[in-house]
């Protein structure tokens, strides 16, 4: 497993200065988001403009016109009745909002718009008329926190005194019997769908708290709040919610539930046009915005092309774990602190690019220059990605062509299937949950693979152009944007302020139901190919090939596009406090940075408390990460610090980190009673839960607490920032 973050759990160490008696999750998350926002304002503002545009990758950026931020005014001017707000971290919530808007407009004939929640002034919520509807599609990020683009809205809505457009109003608690004038949102009608993951403690906290807060401020929910579980089937949860959502939606707006005129023909969201006359220097070849190293500040919208070095931490065998050293010394505005994450922007592999291009009949057109413009008034952006561009650039850099395709997308393709047999095959996958689960979901088949599967002869390779009748605008509409992959930084900013270290295991596996197929991790295999390009004796013929030079050769197999995401996974301010870290596998990555930081402080003559690392892997001679570094580091830290290892395959009986924790339980409890901070990094679904139960057990066994008291004790450690997790599922 790599340190790739699906939904890292983070909680601010800044809370250690706040004394909590009993605190609710709402107050905790509001305080966390306030601290997170105030501490990271500079980072959030970098490159905040849209990454879409017409200025070419080599051209200077154009001055942006002033944008109207009063969404109510826009809705009135354009006669829109519904607005779909999204708070999205990886693009899924944005996709869901767009899909809802499309159905709202095309099936029910209701004029609507989608809106990135950070681009509008949400203080105007109190002026949205009762005959309109606001729909919030909100993902939960981290430890019950809002996504980056929703932080400003969260700060507004969670304020004790909410400053809406008409006047500041005290929101109070939802239990309070507030007079009507204290409910500024009493004319707002809204719907909510949340995206979360049940392996995390604060499942769908943002959607739940938003619902509670809007209600407390006088707003009225339409229908039931929806919640999607990414650990189960987020897509199925979303489809199930829509079944009850649309009837409530239609009833609230007085719309015919059967739809506007019945089954209407599909109306494209985008128009795709071939560009015959163009300036080659102004065609986007995969640039996310401005790739030139002479541009404005680097960040999420303007990643930095950083040079790097790499080495394989595993010796021998089929598995590889890369240690990357990424140089940020030339970046403008990029800096990190120990415990932060680095985002690496991936590239899709040539195999999947060629597969999808072939089945769509685009193999001979890959380098054709095209423009893609929004024609659906409900579209949230004028362009889905920078244009003009090429089909090849869209497949390689902009569209997530390797992700499993959704049932809803498959249903939209049925009418374009060229034969009755291929139509039926697509329809079956789109409507039969078990068939979809077996052949797409658990098999992890992407769009190109599914279209190959649905050709008439069910061969392994579709005939070129078999599905050429599928409009490219539908492909663009259906596939998500390719997103960066986040990794825990495994270096210390104190010792290496401009060098970011990454620890990542290459991912390649055979799904249980299709053991003859190999699924390759998008980014880790790209990194392995980049590594191989710098170490000429490595054979990579067994994995897909990638374009390593990047747009206009700016990467040239020696650079990676990166930016930094600040986290709240931080060491205590008081260096003298004990630290207990649990990180099996690549979960040790941030703790390498922590240990280097503590050792540096010790060398500087500062007082440093006991530093305990519980580390687990398979075998000490196969995958013991950084085995050569730990002895010197812990010698520097002193006798009260140590690394405690668990090797699951060294003996017949498997030993995991929680077992070693239990062996040292009494000492760990003594450190906890002396104010120790606990850090856990790695798998959320099993390891993190088992480790938490182990600490609850310590409170029972050594603290003399009941099970309920022990659980409350650990919850209090969390709420005060003394139990922090950075985990993924």
Catalytic residue among 51, 488, 490, 641: 488
- Is 154 among the catalytic positions? no
Contacts of 703 (CB under 8 A, 6+ apart): 669, 673, 710, 713
Give which of 590, 591, 586 is closest to 612, Cα–Cα.
Answer: 591
What does the buried/exposed string (b/e) look like for 388-412 if buried means 16 or more CB atoms within 10 Å of the residue's CB? bbbbbbbbbbbbbbbbbbbbebbeb
Residue that the structure tokens 């209701």 belong to? 110
Q: What does 535-548 look like in DSSP terms, one character per residue?
A: STT---TTS-----
Would you say 239 and 184 are in contact if contact means Cβ atoms under 8 Å apart?
no
| Cβ 296 vs Cβ 47: under 8 Å | yes
Output b/e per residue, 235-262; b: 16+ Cβ within 10 A.
bbbbeebbeebbeebbebbebeeebeee
Q: What is the residue whose two structure tokens read 């561009």?
A: 389
Instruction: Detail the residues annotated as belonging to a binding site.
Output: 88-93, 139-142, 195-204, 230, 319, 485-488, 503-505, 509, 521-524, 586, 648-649, 654-658, 690, 728
To the query of whether residue 728 is one of the catalytic residues in this protein, the response is: yes
First vs last C-alpha separation in the chain: 10
The catalytically annotated residue of 95, 148, 400, 726 is 726
In degrees rounded to 5, what are phi and psi of residue 274? -75, 135
Choosing from 547, 681, 683, 719, the catalytic residue is 681
Helix (H, G, I), strand (E, B) or coil at 321: strand
Return binding residues for FMN: 88-93, 139-142, 195-204, 230
With beta carbons less than 8 A apart as the criterion, state whether 232 and 80 touch: no
Residue 391: alpha-carbon gap to chain centroid: 25
Q: Residues marked as binding for NADP(+)?
A: 319, 586, 648-649, 654-658, 690
Beta pairing class for 559-565 and 723-728: unpaired
Q: Are 18 and 201 in contact (CB under 8 A)?
A: no
Contact 381, 577 (CB under 8 A): no
Q: Which residues are catalytic?
A: 488, 681, 726, 728
């Amino acid at each position: 497993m790599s340190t790739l973050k699906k939904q890292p759990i983070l909680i601010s160490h800044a809370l250690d200065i706040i004394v909590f008696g009993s605190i609710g999750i709402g107050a905790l998350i509001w305080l966390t988001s306030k601290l997170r926002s105030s501490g990271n304002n500079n980072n959030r503002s970098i490159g905040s403009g849209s990454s879409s545009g017409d200025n070419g990758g080599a051209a200077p950026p154009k001055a942006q016109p002033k944008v109207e931020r009063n969404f109510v005014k826009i809705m009135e001017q354009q006669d829109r009745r519904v607005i779909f707000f999204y708070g999205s971290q990886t693009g899924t919530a944005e996709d869901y909002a767009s899909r809802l808007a499309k159905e709202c407009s095309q099936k029910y004939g209701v004029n609507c718009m989608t809106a990135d929640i950070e681009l509008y002034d949400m203080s105007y919520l109190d002026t949205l008329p009762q005959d309109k509807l606001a729909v919030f599609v909100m993902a939960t990020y981290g430890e019950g926190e809002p996504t980056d683009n929703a932080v400003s809205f969260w700060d507004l809505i969670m304020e004790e005194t909410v400053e809406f457009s008409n006047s500041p109003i005290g929101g109070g608690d939802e239990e309070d019997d507030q007079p009507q004038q204290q409910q500024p949102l009493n004319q707002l009608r809204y719907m909510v769908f949340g995206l979360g993951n049940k392996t995390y403690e604060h499942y769908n906290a943002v959607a739940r708290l938003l619902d509670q807060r809007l209600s407390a401020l006088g707003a009225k929910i339409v229908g039931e709040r929806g919640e999607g579980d990414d650990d189960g089937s987020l897509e199925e949860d979303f489809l199930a919610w829509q079944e009850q959502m649309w009837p409530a939606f239609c009833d609230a707006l007085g719309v015919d539930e059967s739809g506007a005129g019945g089954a209407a023909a599909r109306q494209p969201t985008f128009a795709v046009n071939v560009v015959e006359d163009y300036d080659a220097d102004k065609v986007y070849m995969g640039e996310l915005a401005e790739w030139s190293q002479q541009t404005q500040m680097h960040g999420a919208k303007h990643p930095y092309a950083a040079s790097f070095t790499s080495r394989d931490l595993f010796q021998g065998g089929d598995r590889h774990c890369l240690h990357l050293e990424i140089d940020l010394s030339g970046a403008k505005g990029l800096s990190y602190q120990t415990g932060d994450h680095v985002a690496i922007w991936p590239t899709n592999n040539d195999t999947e690019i060629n597969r999808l291009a072939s089945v769509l009949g685009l193999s001979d057109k890959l380098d054709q220059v095209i423009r893609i413009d929004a024609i659906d008034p409900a579209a949230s952006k004028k362009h889905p990605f920078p244009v003009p561009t090429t089909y090849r650039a869209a497949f390689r850099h902009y569209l997530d062509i390797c992700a499993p395709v959704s049932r809803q997308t498959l249903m939209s393709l049925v009418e374009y299937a060229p034969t009755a047999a291929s139509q039926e095959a697509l329809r079956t996958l789109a409507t039969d949950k078990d068939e979809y689960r077996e052949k797409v979901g658990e098999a992890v088949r992407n769009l190109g693979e599914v279209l190959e599967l649905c050709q008439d002869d069910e061969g392994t390779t579709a005939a070129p152009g078999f599905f050429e009748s599928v409009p490219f605008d539908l492909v663009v509409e259906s596939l998500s944007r390719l997103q960066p992959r986040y990794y825990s930084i495994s270096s210390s900013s104190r010792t290496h302020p401009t060098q970011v270290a990454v620890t990542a295991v290459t991912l390649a596996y055979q799904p249980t139901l299709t053991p003859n197929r190999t699924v390759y991790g998008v980014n880790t295999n790209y990194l392995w190919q980049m590594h191989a390009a710098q170490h000429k004796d490595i054979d990579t013929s067994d994995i897909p090939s990638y374009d390593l030079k990047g747009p206009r050769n700016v990467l040239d197999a020696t650079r990676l596009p990166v930016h930094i995401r600040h986290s709240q996974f931080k060491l205590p301010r008081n260096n003298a406090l004990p630290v207990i870290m649990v990180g099996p596998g690549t979960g040790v990555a941030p703790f390498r940075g922590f240990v280097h930081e503590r050792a540096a402080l010790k060398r500087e003559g500062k007082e440093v408390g006991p530093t305990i690392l519980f580390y687990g892997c398979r075998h000490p001679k196969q995958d013991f990460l950084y085995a050569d570094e730990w002895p010197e580091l812990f010698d520097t830290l002193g006798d009260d610090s140590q690394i405690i290892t668990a090797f699951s395959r060294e003996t017949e009986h498997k030993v995991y980190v929680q077992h070693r924790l239990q062996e040292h339980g009494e000492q760990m409890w003594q450190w906890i009673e002396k104010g120790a901070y606990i850090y856990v990094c790695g798998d959320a679904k099993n390891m993190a839960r088992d480790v938490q139960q182990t600490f609850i057990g310590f409170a029972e066994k050594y603290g003399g607490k009941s099970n309920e008291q022990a659980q409350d004790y650990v919850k209090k450690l969390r709420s005060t920032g003394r139990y922090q997790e950075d985990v993924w599922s």
